[in-house]
Structure 1
Amino acid sequence: MLGTTKHPQALGTGAQASWPEIWQTLAPMWQDVLSGKAIGLNDFKLTIERHGYPEDVYFNISYSPLRDDSAKVAGILVTYSETTDRVRTERRLNAARDQLRSIFMQMPAAIAILRGSEMRFEFANAAYQSLVAKSEDELIGRKRTDVFPDSPERINSQFSHVYRTGDRLVTSEHSFTRDWNNDGHASERSLNLIFEPYRDADGIIVGVIIFAFDVTEHVEARRKAQEAEARTRFVHEELREVGRQKDEFLATLAHELRNPLAPLRNAAHALGQSELSPTALAWCRDVITRQVKHMALLLDDLLDVSRINTGRIELKRETVRLDAAVNAAVETVAPLISKKQHALQVSLPREAIELDADPLRLAQVFTNLLTNAVKYTDPGGRIELKAEVDGEGLKVSLRDNGIGVAPEALPNLFRMFSQIPSAIDRTEGGLGIGLALSKGLVALHGGSLSAHSEGPGCGTTFELHLPASVIKLPASPEHPPASANEASRTQRRVLVVDDNRDAADSLAMLLDIEGHDVTVAYGPEEALSLAPSLMPEVAFLDIGMPTMNGYELARRIRQETWGASMFLVAATGWGTEDDRRKAASAGFDRHLTKPVNPSEVLALLSERTSPEIRTAARAARA
């Protein structure tokens, strides 16, 4: 203890002379001992010089008074035990322990140490405290089951297993549902867990170390990615299905168009013959009329579906009797029913049911459903149409004993261009849009249309529901407007303007046969040069013409004195609601979509060109 610089020189000298560097520390203590007090110190630090330089050293020290025969304190018994190496080692260990604790506290993984069979928390780093929303005071020293009384039994058994066996356990994406934030709201989190045995210096298991990694965001991101992948696959499948349906539709459309084109070509060829009997001429007329009507219906169906899908179709609601709409559809389909020798049974309520609906569209729905049943029922089949009214509204069911529909095909039955495989080869044909169109029209009325079938060969039932708000109390009858045949056939001066010579000449021929004074112009400039001298009452203008379209021509006509009161009719292949608005804005009184219906043209000339109507049209434009 004295070292090389003080031993043996210190022997026989006073303590102050031997320890001058620590005498200020020793003197007070020794004075207390000389007064009879014993002193004991552990790991007491002194800075001494014993090898020629000052150094910090530590001692366990005992100072005891020594008494003579008279019991008087005559000296001090000094016992020193140097503990410098142990203190320094312990301090290094403590520093290392503090550093290790700091590292564990900063680690992103949630870490906790639980000691003993009761699994009491001995350590929990910041990530663990944050994960469980518990402070260090709420965790350290407490049993795990007291801190988490709702802990799943599987987790409890895993802690017990690791503590009992020393096995290391790893669980991935374990789902926990609990109140993680102590805010009264339970939520789900996914954790990866590692259970590690906690051993002492002798290798004895004294607890369990738990490592927890919150992978909720990862699991959620993967779930979203899987959902996105599934959606992408679905979209790709949908696109493939749409592509297949498109190809099938184009093939069907070509087939449906070729069917009327063939008789039209034959009728046109027959008309080219030098001599035709009245019977042959009537045949040609009937063929052309029938096939053009068929092609117009195909085109109308396509346009109607497009308008419904883009929200541009508008219902023209009025009071319509249910039996009238059903009878109109039955009359339309009657030839097909007769041809296939079907038995049709119609059951309607005894009382007259009046609906607030679009009569044309409602009859169109019934016609489509009846036509569908007729087409896909083998000859001699049974078709039943039944309507009834209850508190929820009107229910119409149409049942047939036809080819039926497979369960997997039912969801696609109302999709555009959808045709069930067993129906594709049927000679009746069709574009596969009738049911899609019908469903859209029913939806516009606030109703629904569904289909049911037990499978192939078991027939099909369609159910149409209209809400109670559509049903009206019987209204007093109104006088119907006069038909085209009842109206006067006043001769009109008419100007037809169309750069398509066949279209212009055929319309002019129709009007000429009806006794009207018709002039044809094959372009806008020609029309503007002819009109001032002709002073036509009515002009049919094509829209898509070169150099000047029909809208601009109408504006030019309206700017002239002779054109201010002229009744202008747009005759065009463009038939959307937006096209109708454009026509009205340009000054047109009416808009007809090609191919125009001859009856509508003649009725327009008979009924829509009176001075009163022209005055109203001008007021509306203004």
Structure 2
Amino acid sequence: MKPSPTHRCTEAPQAGGPCTPGGEYQALFDATDEGFCIIRMLFDAEGQPADGVFLRANPSFEHQSGLRDVIGRHMSALPLAGDEEHWLQVFGTVARSGQSIHMSDRSEPLGRWFDVHAFRIGEPGQALVAVRFSDITHRRRIEERLGSVRRTKTVGVLFWGEGFRLVEVNDGFQEMSGYARAEAVGLTWQQLTPPEFHAVSRSAVQQVMKHGETAPYEKQYIRKDGSRWWGLFAARRVGDEVVEFVLDVTERKRAEEALRQADRHKDEFLATLAHELRNPLAPIRNGLQILRLTLPREAEAPLRTVGMMDRQLDHLVRLVDDLLDIARIGAGKVRIERQVVSLRDVLARSVEATQAAIDARRHRLDVELPPQECHVEGDLDRLAQVFSNLLSNAAKYTPPGGRIRLEFEAQPGEALVGVSDTGIGIPKEQQERVFELFSQVSDHRRHAEGGLGIGLSLVHSLVKLHGGSVSVESAGPGQGSRFCVRLPRVAAPGQAAGGGVEAPRAGGACRILIADDNADAAETLAMLFAAGGHEVATACDGVEAIARVKEFQPEIAFLDIGMPVMGGLEAARQIRGLPAGDRVRLVALTGWGQPADRERTREAGFDLHLVKPLTLEALQDALAQMRSARKGGP
């Protein structure tokens, strides 16, 4: 317990004298946590220090020194057991020379270490010495236990005292921070921490004061020169002080950031690659559709060739879509449009999308569905993509004439969908890796058309986004495989009012403008529309498209977004600003299909957003929608 603040000088000094703190300093004198006292030194006839008398001491004196009731007592009368000779010499030197002394020393009788600052006050003849000191026993014990850690440069050690000010640092911290010991002592944690990391540091301070230690944290520190470095730190309270240990992890953080940057570049590259690949795919798709429409039915070999090319183009389009989806998932840009959907509808779409590939390899597909309905919450298109990928994978890695089985089981709380095959199987040691990006089973490349190793990774990511899981089972090479997808079940939705109305097909001729800087894409699309009896005009950029709208007055305009000179977005805005611009139905043609991309085209004034390459069915549906809207529009 600290002594009460009622100490007084044993002498009766003059008001404001050297042993009496002034009124404005009295509160500071009494409130400071450091021990403080004033001693009058006594010298013998030869001028050597013989004793000292305590004239004043603050309330913290007893707490810091362990000595009681010292006012008016001589140093020789205190229980110092000979240690007083040492302090007499120290304080006597200060009183005679007037030079202050700052030192750390140990009092053997008291069993304590002290940080001592002694300085002369008053006139030289008064021999008055003021002593400010604090008990640093805990810190010295820690330092003794640390031993060589004090000198190590791989671990920084910081000793925090009252008010979380530094009272000591080791060589490691000096090396990391650029501060010399004398410069670091007295700094606060706020001075060493950037403002954006104050919350982390404050949390650590609160944690160590409440629990005695902190969990490891990472934050930045400020060097003496103002630069920053990353540290992994933890702290523990020891006695009246807090000891912090910190590792310099700047290089690791730089390496992690470099990896993240490389990963971002990879995602950007994949997204750009997929987008750019869609541009040449569009005229190829259009050309095949033109051939299919114009070849005579008796041209069996050319029609078979067109069919083969169309199937391979479908495969290439799926690869491009998978590339783009993986890039979007990696960048966190995939959105799941959640609604309650029938699992039967999902699987029906998946079978429809893959039936041609299954038939081409003469596989037998068995579909076994339970009699009761089963509903899940999710994106119908994305879920259909999951099972299409699994069915395509089964068809690819099953020798011609094999069997593929699609089944699902409605269990309480979840639905299980299984896709099994009689294919080449997966070695047990490689089954855990099949869902990793760009991972391929080593023996699969020579058995199938191959791929990029992203299909199953995409399945895993999409199923996870739906709150489900996917697993694989295989007895080994030649034993086939079975993939099992688990999805949370939900209650069936209420019966929707009314029935769906199918969009009308295009009928009758209309004026159509096609603007695309890819001349092949524009020409082949124009040929497709011309084959349907429509009047078509083309443009190679946004500026020419605006001029064509004024001259040609199209009813429907298909505008590519990424044209030179002026892109499709700006062209759409200017077309909408023309006197008759509202009468034109605008369709965006682009390789980008994310919700944000669709929002940009909508804001620019487009009525419809189409993603390249387009199938003939997609073109017909788009034309039907735009004709229907034109009839009901302005």
Class of the TM-score when normalised by the shorter of the 2 chains: 0.5 to 0.7
Q: In the superposition, relative to structure 1, how do residues 106 and 582 fare at CA in structure 2: closer, same or farther (>3 Å)?
A: same
1:323 matched to 2:344: yes
Which residue pairs with 2:150 in the alignment? none
Please give the per-residue CA displacement for 1:370-413, whole angstroms capped at 9, x wherever unaligned: 22233334566665444223333223233456555566655543
Tell me: CA distance 1:340–1:456, structure 2 relative to 1, closer, same or farther (3 Å): same
Deviations 1:502-531 (A, max 9, x none): 211111110111121222234444443443
Match of 1:565 in 2: 583
- Whichever residue aligns with residue 482 of structure 1, its letter is E
- 2:525 is aligned, of 507, 513, 519, to 507
Q: Check 1:408–1:112 CA distance in 2 against 1; reply closer, same or farther (3 A cut).
A: farther
Partner of 1:468: helix, strand, or coil? strand
CA change 1:403–1:215 in 2 (3 A) is farther
Deviation at 1:538, TM superposition (A): 0.6
Amino acid at match of 2:520: D
1:416 shift after superposition: 2.8
The residue number in structure 2 matching 1:591 is 609
Residues 475/395 of structure 1: CA separation in 2 closer, same or farther (3 Å cut): farther
- Mapped to 1, the partners of 2:345 and 2:208 lie a distance apart of 68
1:413 paired with 2:423, answer: no
CA distance in 2, matches of 1:231, 1:579: 34
SS at 2:512 equivalent? strand
**Which digits, 9 at most, give the CA deviation of each residue in 1:286-325, with x for residues without a partner?**
3443333333222222222233333433444555322232
Is residue 538 from structure 1 mapped to residue 556 from structure 2 by the alignment? Answer: yes
**Inter-CA distance 549–283: structure 2 relative to 1 (3 Å threshold):** same
Matching residue within 450, 457, 470 for 1:436: 457
1:492–1:605 Cα contact (<8 Å) kept: no
- Map 1:265-280 → 2, pairs under 5 A: 278-280=299-301
List per-residue Cα deviations over 1:421-440 (Å, max 9, x = no partner). 23334432122221222233
8 Å contact from structure 2 (residues 506, 621) kept in 1: no
Which residue of 1 is the match for residue 501 of structure 2?
Answer: 481
- Give the residue type in structure 2 aligned to 1:221: V
Matched, 1:606 2:624: yes
2:108 matched to 1:123?
A: no
Q: Which residue of 2 aligns with 1:390?
A: 411
Answer yes or no: is the 8 Å Cα contact 1:571–1:593 preserved in 2.
yes
Deviation at 1:246, TM superposition (A): 13
Supply the AA of the counterpart residue of 1:123: G
**Equivalent residue, structure 2, for 1:304:** 325
What is the Cα-based RMSD across aligned positions, in Å? Answer: 5.4
Q: How does 1:284-363 map to 2 (within 5 A)?
A: 284-337=305-358, 344-363=365-384
- 1:237-266 CA distances to partner (integer Å, 9 max, x unpaired)? 99999999999x99x99xx99xx99x99x9
**TM-score between both structures, scaled by the size of structure 1:** 0.56
Q: Give 1:472's aligned amino acid.
A: A
Partner of 1:468: 489
Offset of residue 355 of structure 1: 3.5
Q: Give the direction of change, closer, same or farther, for the CA distance of 1:465–1:343 in structure 2 (3 Å limit).
A: same
CA distance, structure 1, for counterparts of residue 564 and residue 471 of structure 2: 47
How does 1:74-113 map onto structure 2 within 5 Å? 95-96=85-86, 107=104
- Counterpart amino acid of 2:559? L
* Aligned-residue offset at 1:366: 0.6
Q: How does 1:184-203 map to 2 (within 5 A)?
A: 185=211
Give me the whole-angstrom Cα distance separating, in 2, the residues matched to 1:520 and 1:292. 25
Change (3 A) 1:238 1:184: closer
Shift of 1:567: 0.4
Distance in 2 between the 1:55 and 1:301 partners?
93
Compute the displacement of 1:550 (Å): 1.7
Paired with 1:243 and 1:610, the residues of 2 have a C-alpha distance of 43
Gapped regions of structure 1 (runs ≥ 5)? 1-46, 58-89, 114-120, 134-180, 190-211
Percent of aligned positions that are identical: 32
Question: In the TM superposition, what whole-angstrom CA distance separates every residue of 1:51-97 from its partner, at most 9, and x where no partner exists?
Answer: xx99999xxxxxxxxxxxxxxxxxxxxxxxxxxxxxxxx99985248
Q: Is the 8 A contact 2:562 2:590 kept in 1?
A: yes
The change in CA–CA distance for 1:605 and 1:234 in structure 2 (over 3 A counts) is closer
TM-score by length of 2: 0.55
Is the Cα–Cα contact under 8 Å of residues 583 and 630 in structure 2 kept in the other structure?
no
**Structure 2: distance between partners of 1:524 and 1:330:** 41
Contact 2:542 2:570 in 1 (8 A): no
CA drift at 1:478: 6.0
- How many residue pairs get aligned? The number is 438
506-515 or 331-340, larger mean C-alpha shift: 331-340
Inter-CA distance 122–341: structure 2 relative to 1 (3 Å threshold):
farther
Relative contact order: is structure 1 or structure 2 higher (C-alpha 8 Å, sep ≥ 6)?
2
Match of 2:573 in 1: 555
Specify the SS of the correspondent of 1:472. Answer: coil
Q: In 2, are the aligned partners of 1:343 and 1:382 still within 8 Å (CA)?
A: yes
What is the CA–CA distance in structure 1 between the aligned matches of 2:578 and 2:261, rounded to whole Å? 53
Tell me, which stretches of 5 or more residues in structure 2 are unaligned? 1-43, 51-79, 92-101, 114-134, 143-206, 216-237
Work out the CA distance in 2 between the residues paired with 1:411 and 1:528: 56
User: Aligned equivalents of 1:55 and 1:239: distance in 2?
Assistant: 73
Counterpart secondary structure, 1:415: coil
Q: 1:498 corresponds to which residue? A: 516
Q: 2:440·2:453 contact (CA, 8 Å) conserved in 1?
A: yes
Say which SS state the counterpart of residue 505 (structure 1) adopts: helix
Q: Conserved in 2, the CA contact under 8 Å of 1:490 and 1:606?
A: no
